Structure 1
Amino acid sequence: MDEVRVWLVRSPLPRAAAARLSGLLDERERARAAALDPVGRLRFVAAHGAARLLAAASAGVAPQALRWAYGPHGKPEVDGVRVSLSHSGDLAAVALTPARAVGVDVQRHTPGLDPLAMSARYFPAGEAGLVAASGERAAEFARLWARKEACVKATGGRLTQGLALPVAGGPVVAGAYHVVDVPVPAGFAGAVALCGPEPFRVTTAWWSVTE
């Protein structure tokens, strides 16, 4: 059975750790980080620095030597390793597998978001009904959204292509993905998906900058 490892990353990191990770980023990553506000920059550095260290270790190369190949919508890949990363608020997730194309997503329960209106606008009617019937609407909305986005990220597409995917009925989505929820801290939802309907094993751990 295929295996996926998911690491969770909290930010901000200590200043020295953030500086170390920033020094590992490539020119494209540094340019993207520089365009963000200070909080967003620290979160970006934590997520992308962790992804670089983890992928480099899996590929057997030095972090500075790792060269990403980017898909048409910016999904990073490297020879021999399937990679996906996501960040929302102060939480990031990095998923790695040697197997099929992978997508991971974390979603913060956004304060002030109207889950009823959002699900009615973007989700299939049955899933909008699940959100409406839930005692924790924000959590249910975030759970479904994370599952949709994980599927889309597995193929390197855009979220707008996946909002109509029926992800609530089980792990197999449209015969094209296998998606499962992953444990994340309270106030967040998380999911990981692989292309293809076959099941897989997931292990989840917290990442520290010493890895």
Structure 2
Amino acid sequence: MDEVHVWLVRSPLPALVLARLAGLLDERERARAGALDPVRRRRFVAAHGAARLLVGARVGVAPQLVRWTFGPHGKPEVDGVRVSLSHSGDLAAVALTPARAVGVDVQRHTPGLDTLAMSARYFPADEARHVAGSEQRAAAFATLWARKEACVKATGGRLTQGLALPVSAGPVVRGMYHVVDVPVPDGFAGAVALRGPEPIRVTTAWWSVTE
């Protein structure tokens, strides 16, 4: 059974830790971070710096020497490991696995979001009814959205291509993905998916700067 390791990263981090992580970023990442407002910049540095430390440790290179390649829609790849990264609000997730293409997603429950209209517009009818009938609509909506986005990220596609995926019936999605919910803090939803229907084992841990 294929194993997936998911690390959760919570912002904000201490200034000294952020400075260390910022020093690991490459030129492309620094440019992206520099274009963000201060809050989003700190979140970006935390997520991408942690990803470099985790990937570097897995493939046996210094984190600042990790060299990403990117798919047509920005999916990051590196020789020696399959990787996916997601961040939403103050929470980020990094997923690593040795063989099959992987996608991870975290979604913050968005206050004021019209989940009824969104699910009716984008989700299959039975999933839209599920959201409408839930006592916790924001959570139900975010859970389905995270599962869909995890599947899309596993193949490096666009989210618009995956919103119609039926992800509520079970872990196997159209024989193409195996998706599992990730335990995340209240106010968030999380999911990880591997390409292919075979079962997966997921372990989740909180990342610390000692990783």
TM range (shorter): over 0.9
Match of 2:173 in 1: 173
The amino acid that maps onto 2:134 is: S
What is the alpha-carbon distance in structure 2 between the residues aligned to residue 205 and residue 102 of structure 1? 17
The amino acid that maps onto 1:182 is: V
State the SS of the aligned residue for 1:33.
helix
What is the alpha-carbon distance in structure 2 between the residues aligned to residue 22 and residue 193 of structure 1? 29
What is the alpha-carbon distance in structure 1 between the residues aligned to residue 173 and residue 143 of structure 2? 15
The amino acid that maps onto 1:184 is: V
Q: TM-score, normalised on structure 2? A: 0.99
Note the 1:35-46 alignment, pairs <5 A.
35-46=35-46
The amino acid that maps onto 2:54 is: L
Structure 2 unmatched runs, 5+: none
**Which deviates more from structure 2 when the two are superposed, residues 60-69 or residues 183-192?**
60-69
Cα deviations by residue, 1:107-148 (Å, 9 ceiling, x for unpaired): 000011011111001101010000011110000000000000
1:161 corresponds to 2:155: no
Match of 1:143 in 2: 143
Note the 1:45-64 alignment, pairs <5 A.
45-64=45-64
Using the TM superposition, give the Cα deviation of residue 210 of structure 1 relative to its aligned residue in structure 2, in angstroms. Answer: 1.8
State the SS of the aligned residue for 2:13.
coil
What is the alpha-carbon distance in structure 2 between the residues aligned to residue 35 and residue 7 of structure 1? 26
Using the TM superposition, give the Cα deviation of residue 207 of structure 1 relative to its aligned residue in structure 2, in angstroms. Answer: 0.2
Root mean square deviation, CA, Å: 0.5
Using the TM superposition, give the Cα deviation of residue 161 of structure 1 relative to its aligned residue in structure 2, in angstroms. Answer: 0.6
Q: TM-score, normalised on structure 1? A: 0.99
What is the alpha-carbon distance in structure 1 between the residues aligned to residue 52 and residue 156 of structure 2? 18
Match of 1:21 in 2: 21
Note the 1:7-156 alignment, pairs <5 A.
7-156=7-156
The amino acid that maps onto 1:156 is: G
What is the alpha-carbon distance in structure 1 between the residues aligned to residue 182 and residue 99 of structure 2? 18
Using the TM superposition, give the Cα deviation of residue 64 of structure 1 relative to its aligned residue in structure 2, in angstroms. Answer: 1.3
State the SS of the aligned residue for 1:193.
strand
Task: Confirm or deny: 8 A CA contact 1:3 1:99 kept in the other structure.
Answer: no
What is the alpha-carbon distance in structure 1 between the residues aligned to residue 44 and residue 127 of structure 2? 31
Structure 1 unmatched runs, 5+: none
What is the alpha-carbon distance in structure 2 between the residues aligned to residue 91 and residue 207 of structure 1? 11
State the SS of the aligned residue for 1:192.
strand
The amino acid that maps onto 1:188 is: F
What is the alpha-carbon distance in structure 2 between the residues aligned to residue 56 and residue 78 of structure 1? 10
The amino acid that maps onto 1:154 is: A
Using the TM superposition, give the Cα deviation of residue 80 of structure 1 relative to its aligned residue in structure 2, in angstroms. Answer: 1.0
Match of 2:6 in 1: 6
State the SS of the aligned residue for 1:24.
coil
Cα deviations by residue, 1:132-173 (Å, 9 ceiling, x for unpaired): 111100000000000000000000111001000000000000
Q: Percent identity between the aligned chains?
A: 84
Cα deviations by residue, 1:23-64 (Å, 9 ceiling, x for unpaired): 100011111101110000000000000111101110111111
What is the alpha-carbon distance in structure 1 between the residues aligned to residue 75 and residue 20 of structure 2? 23
Cα deviations by residue, 1:76-128 (Å, 9 ceiling, x for unpaired): 11111000010000000000000200000000000110111110011010100
